[in-house]
Amino acid sequence: MNGFFITGTDTGVGKTLVSAGLIHKLVASGWRVAGMKPVATGCKWKGGVLRSEDADLLIAEANVKAPYDWVNPYAYEPPIAPNIAAKQLRSYISLAHIADCKARLLQMADMVVVEGVGGFRVPLNDDQDAAHMALMLGLPVILVVGLRLGCLNHALMSAEAIQMRGLKLSGWIGNRIDPGMTHMEPNLDTLRRRLTVPCLGVVPLVVPALPEQIAPFLEINSVFQNTVT
């Protein structure tokens, strides 16, 4: 095992925060860890270079420092689906190039925590989506479930899609993103019963949400146990 692929039930469910928190905890446990955000949209210009705020957060938590374009090979300014952004800019998202960047990072690190883009089936080009990227990278998957109305359906469908692709789903993490969500515990109980993999933590709603604050709620030991069995 040389890392994890972090996907989510949708966009805006906290994949970046969970990924950064996981990196923070792995670093504290003595691992050499690199973060990776292969595809990002909604990027901003900094010093004449397009950069992803998500990628920058992963970089800040990692203890392996690598060239930015290895961490974030594809950065697009429009805050839209990556396949549409790439087509508008006459760019092409190559999974082979993403896999090559991951291999370069692993020459420097024990582990690479890769954050996906959007949900599990977000299109990347005319023929491939984020599921193809996860398969290409060959990493066990952790599903971030945004805890809000509709999360049960999204979580069950996402988990089914991950497992039907033959990927190893190591577990799921609940993230409390909606302060007004009612019946939180019954929803969590339903997820624990229906999902066939362990719950690796439930992240509370904290402001500001910082990786070091949510890291204690992530169960690293459970992740490793379920990955190697």
Query: Which pLDDT value is given to residue 229?
Result: 38
Query: Which pLDDT value is given to residue 224?
Result: 66
What is each CA distance from 174 to 43, 47, 73, 109, 178, in whole angstroms?
26, 36, 28, 27, 12
Q: What is the pTM of this model?
A: 0.94
Query: Which pLDDT value is given to residue 220?
Result: 78
What does 163-176 look like in DSSP terms, one character per residue?
A: HHTT--EEEEEEE-
Dump pLDDT digits (tens) for 166-204: 999 999 999 999 999 999 999 999 999 999 999 999 999
Catalytic residues: 37
Residues of the chain with pLDDT under 70: 222-229
What is each CA distance from 169 to 77, 113, 194, 223, 228, in whole angstroms?
31, 15, 14, 10, 11
